[in-house]
Amino acid sequence: MQAPDKNRLSINTATVRQQWNLKQIIDGCARHDIRGISPWRDQVQALGLQQTAQRIRSNELFVSGYCRGGMFPGVDAQARRAADEDNRRAVDEALALNAACLVLVVGGLPGESKDLAGARSQVRDGLGRLLEYARNVGMPLAIEPLHPMYAADRACVNTLEQANDLCDELGDDGLGIAVDLYHTWWDPKFYAQLERAGRKRILAFHLCDWLVPTRDLLNDRGMMGDGVIDIRAARLAVEALGFTGAHEVEIFSAHNWWQRDPDEVLETCKARHQSHC
């Protein structure tokens, strides 16, 4: 069975953010010959946008995605306008970093609302507004469906089917999906919705594993091979559709990997990428 291309490995900076700052992560990826990186906005703000872009370029890394935009629902029009403004800034930052896409975590119920359908309607409308701006400047937007456990507070788009529906409604031009296995592996329609998305819509592919038991639903993700996800089958499926992008490792792990030497973490990511992806 064909092993993954090692040059397509990318590290989402969340994977070692508890041990290293962004400058250290960039230097660490270059030192370990990991060619891809996906930084978070707060880390970029701390280092500085221009310095981040310069260090990424000087180390000859590619940016597989920028984390993150979204959080569209708001308790009132003023809150929604503020989200729009912040999302346009995120697009501009992603452009400055030459990111492959801006990843969108769309947001959940605003305030004390219990209107899930209304929140999803706000996501559609906010995404439509941002898409117009992003299309004009040429930055692809990647909707990231999150596991249903996050529907209330982080993302009310929870399946690949919902993300595909949004792409159908708003148009494929500059809009697609970030397929994160932690959030989507369980879905009985997973492979059918990958087929529906096709190469054009799959803009990002995020890797980690689902541990049994999972001690913390946010911060106890597994290293590839330590859990129950058939990661290689998913990787082969997206590549069979023509996906040629990065294999981005994104691990939140308060109990394990965030406690380890970050050089060990990166070396393990490289090894597991080859053996389990």
Handedness of CA 14, 107, 185, 205 (dihedral sign): negative
d(CA 235, CA 206): 10
Instruction: Compute CA distances 72 → 112, 154, 166, 175, 274, whole Å.
Output: 15, 10, 14, 16, 37
Q: How many residues are there in the chain?
A: 277
Structural domains present in the chain: 6-276 (3.20.20.150)
- Please state, in angstroms and rounded to a whole number, the distance separating the CA atoms of residues 26 and 225: 25
Token pair of 101 as six digits = 């896409």
Using alpha carbons only, give the angle 269, 156, 227 rounded to the nearest 5 degrees: 30
Looking at residue 207, what is its pLDDT? 98
178 Cα distance to chain centroid: 6
Token representation of residue 98: 């030459």
What tokens appear for 272 in the block? Answer: 């597991």
Residue 80, pLDDT score? 98
* Alpha helices, DSSP H, located in the chain: 22-31, 41-47, 49-58, 77-96, 116-137, 160-170, 181-184, 190-201, 231-240, 262-276
pLDDT of the residue at 2: 83
Rounded Cα distance, 73 and 9, in Å:
33
Q: Which of 230, 227, 229 is nearest to 214 (CA)?
A: 227
Q: Of 273, 194, 276, which is closest to residue 227 (Cα–Cα)?
A: 276
User: For residues 156 and 171, what is the distance between their CA atoms, to the nearest angstrom?
Assistant: 20
User: Which of 37, 78, 80, 70 has its CA nearest to residue 56?
Assistant: 37
| Of 19, 70, 62, nearest in space to 41 by CA | 70
Q: What is the pLDDT of residue 1?
A: 57
- 145 with 162: CB under 8 angstroms? yes
pLDDT tens digits for the chain (277 residues)? 588 999 999 999 999 999 999 999 999 999 999 999 999 999 999 999 999 999 999 999 999 999 999 999 999 999 999 999 999 999 999 999 999 999 999 999 999 999 999 999 999 999 999 999 999 999 999 999 999 999 999 999 999 999 999 999 999 999 999 999 999 999 999 999 999 999 999 999 999 999 999 999 999 999 999 999 999 999 999 999 999 999 999 999 999 999 999 999 999 999 999 999 9
